């Protein structure tokens, strides 16, 4: 992905962090693109969820992210869903899933097939199981990683605690 596309994704995250466009746009990213996202500046909390359409717990928690995102000021909390679906199934599975489930949060699809190139960059303790969520605010040096599914109350609680930090 070139620099202009990364800028485009970051611009979308900054301007529309909790609301998407009616026609879901998916950015395709590699390990180095994810690293730029994780280096996000700005004094806001970034919530990056790693999921896949074939993961039952992931699918179950997505509506919680959608609902919770709507409750926060986009200038304070920004959401990104990183799909770990197989690149060969982006068109046939991922895009129809997003449309059917009315997912409007920004979505990035990981095209990097070697997870070892990027999993440790998200969190050194992460073994690659999904769902997983990284919460961070680099300006305030706030970082929390959660392996496993979150319900709506857990998600709100983590966000509330971290934006007060």
Give the CA radius of gyration of the chain. Answer: 14
Give the residue numbers marked as catalytic. Answer: 55, 58
Residue 45 has, within 13 A of its CA and on its CB side, a CA count of: 24
Q: How far apart are CA 26 and CA 93, in angstroms?
A: 13
For 16, 129, 146, 163, the CA distances from 75, given in Å and listed in that order, are: 9, 30, 23, 12
How many Cβ atoms from other residues are within 10 Å of residue 55's Cβ? 18
The strand pair at 26-29 and 107-110 is best described as parallel
Residue with tokens 């928690």: 61
Structure tokens that stand for 74 in this block:
């986009």
Neighbours of 164 (CB within 10 A): 7
């Amino acid at each position: 992905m070139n620099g202009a596309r990364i800028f485009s994704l970051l611009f979308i995250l900054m301007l529309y962090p909790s609301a998407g466009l009616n026609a879901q746009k998916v950015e395709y990213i590699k390990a180095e693109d994810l690293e730029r996202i994780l280096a996000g500046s700005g004094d806001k909390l970034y919530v990056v969820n790693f999921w896949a359409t074939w993961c039952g717990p992931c699918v179950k928690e997505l509506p919680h992210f959608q609902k919770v995102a709507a409750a926060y000021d986009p200038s304070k909390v920004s959401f990104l869903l990183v799909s770990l679906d197989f690149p060969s199934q982006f068109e046939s599975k991922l895009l129809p899933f997003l449309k059917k489930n009315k997912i409007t949060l920004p979505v990035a699809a990981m095209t990097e097939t070697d997870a070892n190139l990027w999993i440790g960059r998200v969190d050194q303790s992460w073994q690659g199981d999904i769902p997983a969520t990284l919460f961070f605010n680099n300006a305030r040096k706030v970082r929390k990683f959660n392996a496993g599914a979150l319900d709506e109350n857990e998600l709100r609680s983590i966000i509330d605690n971290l934006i007060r930090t």
